[in-house]
Amino acid sequence: MRALFNLPAPAKINWFLHVTGRRPDGYHTLQTVFQFIDWCDTLDLIRRDDGVIRRIGAEDLPEHDLCIRAARLLQQTTQCPFGADIHLRKSIPQQAGLGGGSSDAATVLIGLNRLWQLGLSRQTLMQLALHLGADVPIFIFGRNACAQGVGEELQEIDLPTPWFAVVHPARGLSTRAVFCALDLTSQIPEAKIAGFAEWLKLNCAESLQGSWQGEQQHKQQYKQKYKQQCKQRKSEQKSGSMLGKNPMWGRNDLQQSAMALEPEVERAMSVLREVLTQNALQPCFDGRMTGSGSAVFAWICDVGKLNARAYGEALIALPAGWQGRLCQGLARHPLRHWIDA
């Protein structure tokens, strides 16, 4: 095998992101749920027999280009004699909280493991991926997951695959800067992930139009409890930040610090609301920032009636320099089957 072409590197969203503490080494611990979406970068990998690893078709690469680092880490760990030409076609915006760079690095690891016929297991690749960044292992794991620790403790979770509207303003945000600006003393006590599973199962069946079939008695039991939660969370929301009629479960603890660093994040919420109205799209719940920002997203109602392809998957009427897409949630990474258990 000499080459692999058009390998997908999907983006992700965080349904919620709770920061639960800070370790002595400076890393923050968290709770989150990752879901892959079909907004993808694509990569070509061409095997070289001289051991050289390089990016092609790109200029002014950063000194620590993550795709190059991933390839070299794999090469050095396995003592593989082969090299590779790596051609990356970017679509996912950078510094958006969508995991584009991490996903690119993971696809390089997955692709070169196959191209170089190394046969490394998923667990081994995940251990390597953690050296590249806390988000990289989730893309090797290949399933939507609950994450804890610094993001490396993963537990598979079944999620619906609805459509999301995603908007990224013209300016991005440094993950490091957002975490540095976080005030842990003002954080709300963490909510248990089990509560998210309950909310998803018992409240979202109607929004998903039958793709999740919660039992009727469970819905009745949960109805009053959820109504009270909605009232409480609405009072905690900033005025004007609501998109849908109900709040989503949990929160993104990084959103306030991101808004303080970059006012465009707050503006993105307003723009998302306006664009959805212009496109006759109705969000199921309030919108939210993903990851450390600066992209925001909303879950779209009436999935069965939505002809997203008619929009070319792109949201119209965005400000100059902004990016927006209609994306569908994925049940798993497109290359998950390329790695043995």
CA separation for the pair 181, 256 (Å, rounded):
9
Whether the pLDDT of residue 81 is over 60: the answer is: yes
Do 235 and 261 touch, CB atoms closer than 8 A? no
Averaged pLDDT, 76-91: 97
Percent of the chain's residues with pLDDT above 70: 79
**pLDDT tens digits along 154-194:** 999 999 888 899 999 999 999 889 998 887 766 666 667 77
Phi-psi region of 57 (alpha: psi -120 to 50; beta: other; left: phi over 0): left
Confirm if 296 and 272 have CB atoms less than 8 A apart. Answer: yes
Question: Which residues are CB-neighbours of 70 under 8 A, at least 6 positions away?
Answer: 105, 106, 108, 109, 112, 129, 132, 136
**Residue 154, strand partner residues:** 147
Contact 293, 254 (CB under 8 A): yes
User: Is pLDDT larger for residue 304 or for residue 298?
Assistant: 298
Collapsed DSSP state (helix, strand, coil) of residue 87: strand
Pairing of β 28-48 and β 3-22: antiparallel
CA 93, 240, 299, 203 torsion: positive or negative?
positive
Label residue 308 by pLDDT band (50, 70, 90). low
CA 98/CA 327 separation, integer angstroms: 12
| pLDDT averaged over every residue in the chain | 84
User: pLDDT band at residue 124, thresholds of 50, 70 and 90?
Assistant: very high
- Picking from 293, 306, 291, 298, the residue whose alpha carbon sits closest to that of residue 276 is 298
What residue ranges define each of the domains in the chain, with the CATH number in brackets?
Answer: 3-158 (3.30.230.10), 163-328 (3.30.70)
Instruction: Decide if pLDDT at 215 tops 50.
Output: no
Cα 60 from chain centroid (whole Å): 26
Most confident of 118-127, 221-230, 320-329: 118-127
- The widest CA-to-CA distance across the chain, in whole angstroms, is 66
Residue 147 has pLDDT above 80, yes or no: yes
CA dihedral over 311, 317, 320, 326, signed as positive or negative: negative
Give the pLDDT confidence score for residue 223 in this predicted structure: 47
**In a 3-state reduction of DSSP, which class is residue 185?**
helix
Indicate which residues carry an active-site annotation. 12, 135
Orientation angle between helical segments 122-130 and 100-115, nearest 10 degrees = 140
Name the band, by pLDDT with cuts 50, 70 and 90, for residue 255.
very high
Q: Which residues pair with 4 in a beta bridge?
A: 45
pLDDT reported for residue 20: 87
- What pLDDT score was predicted for residue 149? 86
Cα(230)–Cα(237) distance, integer angstroms: 11
Alpha-carbon 107 to chain mean position: 15
Scanning the structure block, which residue is given the tokens 């963490």?
190
Other C-beta atoms closer than 10 Å to the C-beta of 178 total: 26
pTM of the model: 0.86
Top mean pLDDT of 19-33, 124-138, 275-289 is at 124-138
Q: Which of 103-112, 181-190, 250-259, 279-288 has the lowest mean pLDDT?
A: 181-190
Evaluated on CA atoms 10, 148, 214, 289, the torsion sign reads: negative
* Arithmetic mean of pLDDT, 206-210: 47
Residue 312 has pLDDT above 70, yes or no: no
Residue 84 in this model has a pLDDT that exceeds 50: yes
Which of 59-73, 119-133, 167-181, 203-217 reaches the highest mean pLDDT? 119-133
Tokens of 199: 């909310």
> Which residues does 6 contact at the CB level (< 8 Å), separation at least 6?
42, 43, 44
Does 72 have pLDDT greater than 70? yes
Q: What's the confidence (pLDDT) of residue 221?
A: 46
Give the model confidence (pLDDT) of 262-282 as tens digits. Answer: 999 999 999 999 988 887 788
Q: Nearest-CA neighbor of 306 among 211, 165, 160, 159?
A: 165
> What is the three-class DSSP state of 18?
strand
The helix (run of H) or strand (run of E) holding residue 113 is helix 100-115
Whether pLDDT at 315 is above 70: yes
